[in-house]
Structure 1
């Protein structure tokens, strides 16, 4: 090769090297992404309520008197604990009490009349038997024996009439007792007084049919609690009584309560347009653990549909459309990978095919410029 061609070749090589150097210097800086290694662990398929649920008492009642009247006795205040059968409120009842006292006097009088009439009837019966015996032996006339028998029958009828009067008087007394029960509110079970409507001396009005009136006393038993929550109608067919659940309460962030589904409502509620839900009742696994929660607390329920242990999993937030993820290869370039997935929840998704344990996938999909083929530098996700 002549000196001239050797110089041309050297110049070409120099130009190519400079071009390559320029291209290398001009290439874009690597994109920084957050990655997470594919690991093994538990994955649960679950559904949650669409709107906030509520902590409820197993027993809760709204009490009112049957009759209206002025409040004469109010033996409790809001927040008091009461025992079953304890009198909570009583209305003025002097008129009913007076009628009850009259009925008591009538009962006493009727009993005295029964004793008198039945004693006389017994004597008349014995006299009739004696006269009939004497008439049989010829010592007295038959007419005298018949007269004695008629007298005994009349006295017996008087005794029966007196007994009937006593029964009537006793039933009148019982009716007066029923009237007294209409103006008294007693606790049907042991519990806590939630609310009282009315003050001592005020007039309490019972709720007539079809007219909603605030109850005089609202009572609940906070020793037994459960959660009522609305679930989307689409999720309802997958929920069955007996399923495991977790309850979280807004007032206690970070704390979860083990629970179990007790009831799934047999109908769909449509309280708002386009919001059709099915109510479920969830019992706490331990009432002792739930003790101290306030009735009315807002609560969320997560129903566990299926559980997989020690399976490959990826953060659900790392999945792209079509069940794909971006994997960082050994050269620091992003590659798209399609996955076969199993059970999933908002946190993790089970991977049945497409990834191996330890491979790094991108979790910061919100960053601009992330796409297959992009060169990246990595930083671990929080907590990894």
Structure 2
């Protein structure tokens, strides 16, 4: 009997040892205490936005030709009205000189004809007086009056010739404007296509030809960013925006929505988006930024202060969370309010001070599993 008891004790001890050795080890999890704070509902752009200039133009001459004058280089600052580029146009200048000479000639002829007309009118008046006194015949008076009228008409024709010559001169000057590029505003030359002596070709309809000069004004900048079409109805002019740039890591600039495009952009192999334009709340923040920088925007739709919140990453599919209670993971349903990628407002299901699991991606983190808290490295 004694041997049987000893054998049973050995078996029990071995079984207990086997169970102890083979028991599932508690999974280590990161835990965060439920607390209060602010939560914002935000929207972010789907693809990187771009820093744009408020004024930017791509200039090309109306007609093609050989570049005779190139007065700027890439990166140069220019003033409004400054001549930037001109094509060879000696033929136009010759036509303009000829038209100018014709204006002068027409003026001289008009002066000659109109003086003769004035004299003819004086002679007609003198002949009329002589006829009244009976010194000349009525036919003589009629001849003098007719001559005066003819010369008066000739004077009017000569003056019309002056107007015609001036119009022709103006036309030649308009033609000269077809071969020259002037700065429509003060700005910076971004790019020049063509060198002195090369042939410059304008861009005909339907054909993408690079412009001769790309000019922008960097004294006024804004951000243009694409937003998902699903989010477009939530966006309106005047909403607060946070702007971040890869060129300024760790820095956030305030801004406001100034325009929402009235149409959806459909680009092949890309999601349909709506472009928005964002102004910098403090224009001085944009000083020194380069046109073309990539930028991201985060639109603030709503903000709530001092509400119960948890990290958004701690929420399971179906609106549930895991809590660490007495060494076990317990699942609980919650009701969420405002949310963003960082925090979610909790309306129901949790109390301040409870501990929720945030390391949901780890293997074995499921409801009912044994768990221990792992301290995050400082």
Q: Same fold by TM-score, threshold 0.5 exceeded?
A: yes
* 2:43 aligned with 1:47: yes
Counting only pairs closer than 5 Å after superposition, residues 1-384 of structure 1 correspond to structure 2 as 28-273=24-269, 275-329=271-325, 331-379=326-374
Deviations 1:135-160 (A, max 9, x none): 33434432232222112101101101
Deviations 1:37-59 (A, max 9, x none): 22222211112122222221111
How far has the Cα of 1:99 moved from its partner? Answer: 0.7
Q: How many residues align?
A: 369
Match of 1:8 in 2: none
In the superposition, the TM-score normalised over structure 1's length comes to 0.89
* C-alpha RMSD over aligned residues: 2.5
Q: Which moved more, 1:25-34 or 1:272-281?
A: 25-34
Deviations 1:27-82 (A, max 9, x none): 65543321112222221111212222222111111111112111111000001111
CA distance in 1: counterparts of 2:204 and 2:194, whole angstroms: 17
**Secondary structure of the corresponding residue to residue 271 of structure 1:** coil
8 Å contact kept, 1:79–1:194: yes
The alpha-carbon distance between structure 1 residues 274 and 208, as it changes in their structure 2 partners (threshold 3 A), is: closer
CA distance in 1: counterparts of 2:130 and 2:233, whole angstroms: 92
Runs (5+) with no aligned partner, structure 2: 1-5
How far has the Cα of 1:123 moved from its partner? Answer: 2.2
In the superposition, the TM-score normalised over structure 2's length comes to 0.90
How far has the Cα of 1:210 moved from its partner? Answer: 2.2
CA distance in 1: counterparts of 2:303 and 2:99, whole angstroms: 70
Deviations 1:317-346 (A, max 9, x none): 0111121112233x3433222111111111
CA distance in 1: counterparts of 2:188 and 2:321, whole angstroms: 55
CA distance in 1: counterparts of 2:106 and 2:270, whole angstroms: 70
How far has the Cα of 1:22 moved from its partner? Answer: 6.3
CA distance in 2: counterparts of 1:378 and 1:125, whole angstroms: 118
Q: Which moved more, 1:318-327 or 1:263-272?
A: 263-272
How far has the Cα of 1:199 moved from its partner? Answer: 0.6
CA distance in 2: counterparts of 1:70 and 1:318, whole angstroms: 67
How far has the Cα of 1:274 moved from its partner? Answer: 6.0
How far has the Cα of 1:234 moved from its partner? Answer: 1.6
How far has the Cα of 1:364 moved from its partner? Answer: 1.2
How far has the Cα of 1:382 moved from its partner? Answer: 7.1
How far has the Cα of 1:19 moved from its partner? Answer: 10
The alpha-carbon distance between structure 1 residues 245 and 103, as it changes in their structure 2 partners (threshold 3 A), is: same
Runs (5+) with no aligned partner, structure 1: 1-10
8 Å contact kept, 1:263–1:282: yes
How far has the Cα of 1:195 moved from its partner? Answer: 0.6
CA distance in 1: counterparts of 2:316 and 2:130, whole angstroms: 119
